[in-house]
């Protein structure tokens, strides 16, 4: 049984003073919470190194939001997985819908995930359908295909995390309902079981308008191993409340 995994995606938010204060507050708070929850924050790349330094060897995990699929070379403006690992990241979000909507396809996500793994980073791969796809009855087909095509070869359950993030729920204040989340997580887990030898053990997070108010209901659904939180991860009291919801409100 996995402990709940609570991940925060800061997106393109966080100037130095505010970002470091937010991370320090979370790192100190997490030390005081009994083990039973894993917490990851994914700040902008500019803050990775400083935040990784302040988190030190404590329990707060640090991740990046994207990486390039090549290890180095003539790719102006891009950042390789090895550079992120060098800056202190242990995880990297890949295939977020905000990147897929700019033309990133699952094959590219798989190539980035392979690069992440070879640099020692654990990829957190996002999949999810648009509203048009859901209304056309294609949610399951789309999500299963994204999953299959976004996974690099040679994975085991512990080396990857999946986040189911319906695009229509991201940043809209409209989270998916319990039946939708449980159904999609069951589908994703069944698909993972066919793709990896120990695929049933891969953690699957839910993301999309998770708040302090709805987190407990979502985290206790079958097949939900944690949450990927955008907006609420920038509000310390809300993000802590979400983590505590994973502990059963302790």
Question: Does residue 165 carry a catalytic annotation?
Answer: yes
Nearer to ligand PGA, 152 or 207 (CB): 207
Q: Smallest Cα–Cα separation from 191: which of 207, 202, 180?
A: 202
Segment interacting with ligand PGA (CB under 6 A) among 69-77, 100-108, 213-221, 225-233 = 225-233
CB of 93 to ligand PGA, least distance (A): 8
Residue from 44, 140, 171, 217 touching ligand PGA (CB under 6 A): that is 171
Question: Does 210 help bind ligand PGA (rule: CB under 6 A)?
Answer: yes
88: left (phi over 0), alpha (psi -120 to 50) or beta: left
Residue from 92, 215, 228, 243 touching ligand PGA (CB under 6 A): that is 228
Question: Does 207 help bind ligand PGA (rule: CB under 6 A)?
Answer: yes
Residue from 66, 129, 133, 165 touching ligand PGA (CB under 6 A): that is 165
Residue from 229, 242, 243, 244 touching ligand PGA (CB under 6 A): that is 229
Strand bridging mode 61-64 / 91-94: parallel
Output the CA torsion 10→55→161→32 (10° steps): -100
Question: Does 125 help bind ligand PGA (rule: CB under 6 A)?
Answer: no
Please name every residue paired with 122 in a beta bridge, in sequence order, or none if there are none.
Answer: 91
Residue from 5, 6, 9, 87 touching ligand PGA (CB under 6 A): that is 9
Residue of minimal Cβ distance to ligand PGA: 230
The catalytically annotated residue of 68, 91, 96, 175 is 96
Question: Does 44 help bind ligand PGA (rule: CB under 6 A)?
Answer: no
Residue from 38, 65, 146, 209 touching ligand PGA (CB under 6 A): that is 209
Q: Per-residue b/e over 35-64, b at no fewer than 16 CB within 10 Å?
A: eebbbbbbbbbebbebbbebbeeeebbbbb
Binding site for ligand PGA (CB under 6 A): 9, 165, 170-171, 207-210, 228-232
Active-site residues: which are they?
96, 165
């Amino acid at each position: 049984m996995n402990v709940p995994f609570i991940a925060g995606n800061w997106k393109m938010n966080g100037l130095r003073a505010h970002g470091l204060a937010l991370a320090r507050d979370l790192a100190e708070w997490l030390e005081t919470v009994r083990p039973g929850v894993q917490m990851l924050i994914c700040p902008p790349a500019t803050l990775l190194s400083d935040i990784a330094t302040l988190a030190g060897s404590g329990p707060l995990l640090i991740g990046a939001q994207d990486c390039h699929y090549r290890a180095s070379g003539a790719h102006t403006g891009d950042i390789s997985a090895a550079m992120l690992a060098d800056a202190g990241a242990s995880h990297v979000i890949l295939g977020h819908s905000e990147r897929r909507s700019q033309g990133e396809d699952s094959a590219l996500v798989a190539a980035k995930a392979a690069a992440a793994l070879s640099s020692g980073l654990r990829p957190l791969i996002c999949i999810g359908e648009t509203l048009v796809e859901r209304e056309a009855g294609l949610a399951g087909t789309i999500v299963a295909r994204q999953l299959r095509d976004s996974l690099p070869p040679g994975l085991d359950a512990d080396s990857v995390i999946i986040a189911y993030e319906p695009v229509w729920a991201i940043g809209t204040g409209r989270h998916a309902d319990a039946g939708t989340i449980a159904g999609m997580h069951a589908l994703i887990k069944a698909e993972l079981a066919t793709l990896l030898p120990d695929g049933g053990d891969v953690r699957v997070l839910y993301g999309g308008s998770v708040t302090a108010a709805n987190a407990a209901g979502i985290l206790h659904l079958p097949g939900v191993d944690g949450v990927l939180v955008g907006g609420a991860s920038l509000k310390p009291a809300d993000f802590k409340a979400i983590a505590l919801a994973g502990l059963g409100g302790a």
